[in-house]
């Protein structure tokens, strides 16, 4: 399978519309410099426009989420960091659903069920682990409510209990909280890792189908 680099952002520096925007920025900057009463005001105008452009680019970069799919691994790239797992460490991939009155309603999340937690815990950076714990609280609460255990939500949301993997390796602190969160989410939804559909470059069904093809083509664990 070929290596694919996917991103939810359509921003490309060399696209015609972005070139036009940059041209307008240059024209506006030159206009402000020409009408400035002195060189200090002109410099201030240039600095101000540079700050505005820099801030806009930074906000675009912060909103970008990327994925890399290779023959051997699956990786998510975010502004603060990311994580990577091998296909052979993934058990299944699907769309997360919520059961309501006997019907399963799709949620805006793609779920990944892992064979073991350790490869993911060892690969994720602390800042992303923190972001996962904070940004997916609503998903945890929905699962708790579905399973009639809302009263335990406060204990589950940041459960600091040490986590011991199948090989006896102990995880504490932030990684233990993340492992415990994954354990609860598996009980509620059957998945451990979740990707928001808003971070995808295509419909959730299409993304899941693509990921499953890579998963099926991956070499088995030896």
Asked whether the beta carbons of 115 and 193 are under 8 A apart, the reply is no
Q: At what angle do helices 173-189 and 126-135 cross, to 10 degrees?
A: 40
Give the residues across from 93 on adjacent strands.
112
Give the residues across from 169 on adjacent strands.
none
Indicate the number of domains in the chain. Answer: 2
210 occurs within a structural domain: yes
Give yes or no: residues 156 and 191 share one domain. Answer: yes
**Whole-angstrom distance, CA of residue 136 vs CA of residue 182:** 11
157 is in which domain, residue-wise? 79-217
Q: What is the pLDDT of residues 129-173, one digit of tens each?
A: 999 999 999 999 999 998 889 889 999 999 999 999 988 999 999
Tell me the pLDDT band of 15, cut-offs 50, 70 and 90.
low
200 occurs within a structural domain: yes
pLDDT at 20: 81
Both tokens of 214, joined, read 């890579």
Give the other-Cβ count within 10 Å of 60's Cβ. 12
17 occurs within a structural domain: yes
- Beta-carbon contacts of 83 under 8 Å, excluding residues fewer than 6 positions away, are 75, 76, 120, 123, 124, 125, 128, 193
Give yes or no: residues 86 and 45 share one domain. Answer: no
**Whole-angstrom distance, CA of residue 112 vs CA of residue 38:** 60
Q: What is the pLDDT of residues 166-192, one digit of tens each?
A: 889 999 999 999 999 999 999 999 999
Give yes or no: residues 87 and 43 share one domain. Answer: no
Give the residues across from 113 on adjacent strands.
92
Give yes or no: residues 90 and 51 share one domain. Answer: no
Q: What is the pLDDT of residues 75-134, one digit of tens each?
A: 999 888 899 999 999 999 999 998 877 788 899 999 999 999 999 999 999 999 999 999
Give yes or no: residues 88 and 154 share one domain. Answer: yes
Give yes or no: residues 100 and 164 share one domain. Answer: yes
Tell me the pLDDT band of 47, cut-offs 50, 70 and 90.
confident
Give yes or no: residues 102 and 205 share one domain. Answer: yes
Q: Which of 13, 36, 63 is the last residue of a domain?
A: 63
222 occurs within a structural domain: no
70 occurs within a structural domain: no
Give yes or no: residues 126 and 22 share one domain. Answer: no
Chain centroid offset of residue 202 CA? 15
* Torsion sign across C-alpha atoms 46, 50, 52, 53: positive
**Whole-angstrom distance, CA of residue 174 vs CA of residue 217:** 34
pLDDT at 49: 82
135 occurs within a structural domain: yes
Question: Where would I find the H helices in 64-123?
Answer: 118-123
Give yes or no: residues 136 and 46 share one domain. Answer: no
Give yes or no: residues 176 and 91 share one domain. Answer: yes
Give the start-end residues of each E strand in 130-177. Answer: 163-164, 170-171
Give yes or no: residues 118 and 187 share one domain. Answer: yes
User: Region 50-77: what's the mean pLDDT?
Assistant: 84
3-state secondary structure of 46: helix
170 occurs within a structural domain: yes
Give the CA angle between residues 205, 144, 137 to the nearest 5°: 70
Q: How many residues does the chain have?
A: 222
Q: Which residue has the higher pLDDT, 12 or 168?
A: 168
Q: Which residue shows structure tokens 């402000």?
A: 32
45 occurs within a structural domain: yes
Give yes or no: residues 43 and 116 share one domain. Answer: no
Q: Is the pLDDT of residue 16 over 80?
A: no
């Amino acid at each position: 399978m070929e290596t694919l680099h996917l991103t939810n952002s359509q921003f490309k520096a060399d696209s015609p519309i972005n070139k036009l925007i940059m041209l307008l920025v240059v024209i506006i900057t030159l206009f402000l410099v020409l009408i400035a009463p002195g060189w200090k005001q002109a410099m201030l105008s240039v600095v101000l426009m540079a700050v505005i452009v820099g801030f806009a680019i930074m906000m675009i970069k912060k909103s970008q989420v990327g994925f890399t799919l290779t023959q051997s691994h699956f990786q998510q790239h975010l502004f603060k960091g990311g994580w990577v797992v091998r296909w052979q460490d993934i058990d299944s991939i699907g769309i997360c659903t919520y059961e309501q009155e006997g019907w399963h309603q799709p949620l805006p999340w793609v779920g990944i069920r892992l064979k073991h937690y350790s490869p993911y815990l060892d690969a994720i950076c602390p800042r992303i682990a923190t972001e996962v714990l904070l940004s997916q609280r609503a998903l945890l609460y929905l699962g708790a409510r579905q399973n009639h255990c809302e009263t335990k939500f406060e204990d589950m949301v940041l459960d600091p209990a040490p986590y011991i993997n199948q090989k006896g390796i102990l995880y504490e602190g932030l990684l233990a909280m993340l492992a415990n969160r994954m354990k609860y989410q598996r009980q509620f939804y059957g998945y451990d890792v979740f990707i928001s559909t808003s971070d995808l470059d295509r419909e959730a069904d299409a993304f899941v189908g693509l990921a499953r093809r890579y998963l099926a083509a991956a070499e088995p664990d030896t």
